[in-house]
Amino acid sequence: MSRVIGIVCEGPTDYEVISCVVDSVTQGQNEYLYLQPEESLMGQFGNGWKGVWKWCESHSSIINDYMNKVTPHMDCLIIHMDGDVSRKEKEVHCMCTSTICENAGKVHPLQCTICKEGNCPVVLPCNNHDINNYTSHLQHLIKSWLNITDLAQKIVITIPCDSIDTWIVVSYGDLIENCESYKDPWNAIIARSANYHSVRIPGGKKRVFVYKQLVEKLVENWKHVTNYCLQASIFESDIKAFCQAVDN
């Protein structure tokens, strides 16, 4: 039985990781709809975490119809955002109680001139969200952007901490204990040299063809990753629950 899965994520490299992991966990038979970012990365919403935010808000009023009435209808929608967004982006803390700003609640955080001019009063790390709360913070925001209170079985939100690259470095054995508290594993570990475990990293830049190589080890050692990365384990459980619901 073929399942149709929509993916909203920060970028094409994240899509590569997510789709390959889902295929491994579900043993294939999946068709993917690459919803966000658009392939040109210059589409309506752009790329990155801001693109995910804009996509969710834009589809909040039609999300049920969008998933069920558009052909092909989606069996599942996966929404991805890296945990480092909560760690380092001021806009997502605009409405936190520790933030005092004259524009709070009046101006959309992504359109705030105070923030764009570099005068945002948000102080990071935010007193409301330490490293143990990055995931719950972003999940709550994504649900609010989608205008939903509970996650339907058809919607899976995944927030890898610190980023989806954490899963990769753990699969190679370069991080073990407290791996989800490690900051910026791409620059700190993967892209520190021209080659990472025989995988060439040209210019230290994230490229889809690089991730196609890296994800092979991730899939091979996925069980090891779920043993050390709580968010990877949760993602696997959510995907398995979705498959069971669809297949039955």
Q: pLDDT for 19-63, tens place per residue?
A: 999 999 998 789 999 999 977 655 677 789 999 999 999 999 998
Res 163: pLDDT:
97
Lowest mean pLDDT across 96-105, 130-139, 188-197: 96-105
CA distance 52 to 218: 24
Q: Which residue has the higher pLDDT, 20 or 98?
A: 20
3 state SS of 178: coil
Supply the mean pLDDT for the chain: 91
Question: Does 124 reside within a domain?
Answer: no
pLDDT > 80? residue 1 = no
Q: Would you state the structure tokens that stand for residue 134, as one six-digit string?
A: 């990055």
Alpha carbons 34 and 15: distance in angstroms, whole number:
8
Please determine, for residue 10, whether its predicted confidence score (pLDDT) is greater than 80: yes
Q: How far is CA 12 from the centre of its chain?
A: 11
Q: What is the mean pLDDT of residues 164-185?
A: 96
**Do 95 and 104 meet the contact criterion of CB atoms below 8 Å apart?**
yes
Higher-confidence position of 119 and 184: 184
Q: Would you say residue 176 has pLDDT above 70?
A: yes
Query: Does any domain span residue 121?
Result: no
Using a pLDDT cut of 90, give the percent of the chain over it. 67
Asked whether residue 111 is assigned to any structural domain, the reply reads no
Q: Is residue 19 part of a domain?
A: yes
Residue 126 lies in a domain: no
Residue 127 lies inside a defined structural domain of this protein: no
Res 66 pLDDT > 90: no
Q: How many CA atoms lie within 13 A of 16 on its CB side?
A: 18
Q: Answer yes or no: are the C-beta atoms of 207 and 200 closer than 8 Å.
A: no
Which of the two residues, 90 and 41, has the higher pLDDT score? Answer: 90
For residue 120, tell me if it sits in a domain: no
User: Where do we find the tokens 């834009």?
Assistant: 58
Confidence of residue 68 (pLDDT cuts 50, 70, 90): confident
Containing structural domain, residue 178: 3-99+133-247
Q: How many domains does the chain have?
A: 1
Mean pLDDT confidence for 93-103? 85
Tell me if 105 is assigned to some domain: no
Residues 174-188, mean pLDDT to the nearest whole number? 95
Cα gap 29→72, rounded to integer Å = 15
